[in-house]
Amino acid sequence: MVSTGYSALSLISYDYEYLLRSIPTYIDEVEEVILGLDKYRQTWSGNSFDLPAEFFHRLSSIDPSKKIKIVEENFYIPDFNPIANDTRERNFLSNFVKKGNWIISIDADEVILDLALLKDFLANLSDTDVYVCVHAQTVFKRLPDSLLIARALSHGEVGIFPVATKSANSFIGARYTHQPRVHCSAKMLHYSWARSEEELYMKLKNWGHSADFDVDSYFALWRAIDGNNYRYLRDFHPVWPKEWVDLIRVPESELLSQKTWPSSG
């Protein structure tokens, strides 16, 4: 067995409410949780966000073992584009992780459904000079009785997300590194787009790729999608259109229980 040490790395920003729901799903499974927070309360795009004082009280209430460490720094560099600021912050935070631990990156709007499987995979990985990906479902929109999932068949699966590396300062593009990629069969739900209109618009304006597409135009498209017309959408990722080939509709309860994990329409 190579390693039994695991550290979670995440970020505090405008979607802090999602973070308060995400952390309880993994805090008992890791040794520490490293959270980055811009000391000027700016996003990677340079927009300001408010963080109420009660947030820190609520954060403490889900951390009885005192595993969470908040690292405050200036994470917005005006000369950098949003994705470069994203990458810079993750590299900075990785230096605060316990040496030798696996760095598991879990953003505020993500839930790894079988973290134990991922941990076992990492513990028995013979080559640690890699970055590890899991199978992911990106939730494009929440309907009253179900979720719309964006299929990404270019990878041969619904989606592939990088989540783990042992190398600090190795990120070259958000969570991607220069290392060879290894796939783990663990599964993750990414609630990236399953937000209220106000929350999603805020996300799109401050996303790492916000400078790469027309936010207002794409937001209008998202608003128009409903339980009837979703089946007509094709090749619609805002940055790399063919990354998302179409939408499928799945009850959320089945995804959470892993009874359904669709890879085809």
Handedness of CA 228, 229, 234, 238 (dihedral sign): negative
- Is the separation of the CB atoms in 118 and 163 below 8 Å? yes
CATH 3.90.550 for domain 6-256, yes or no, is yes
DSSP E strand stretches across the chain: 6-12, 32-38, 68-73, 102-105, 110-112, 131-143, 146-151, 160-165, 171-173, 176-177, 181-190, 246-250
SS3 content of the chain, % helix, strand, coil (to 5): 30, 30, 40
The values of phi and psi at residue 76, to 5°, are -110, 115
- The residue ranges of every structural domain in the chain are 6-256
Contacts of 194 (CB under 8 A, 6+ apart): 109, 139, 140, 141, 142, 147
Which pLDDT tens digits describe the chain residue by residue (265 residues)? 444 699 999 999 999 999 999 999 999 999 999 999 999 999 999 999 999 999 999 999 999 999 999 999 999 999 999 999 999 999 999 999 999 999 999 999 999 988 999 999 999 998 999 999 998 888 999 999 899 999 876 554 457 889 999 999 999 999 999 999 999 999 898 888 999 999 999 889 888 788 889 999 999 999 999 999 999 999 999 998 988 889 989 887 776 665 444 443 3
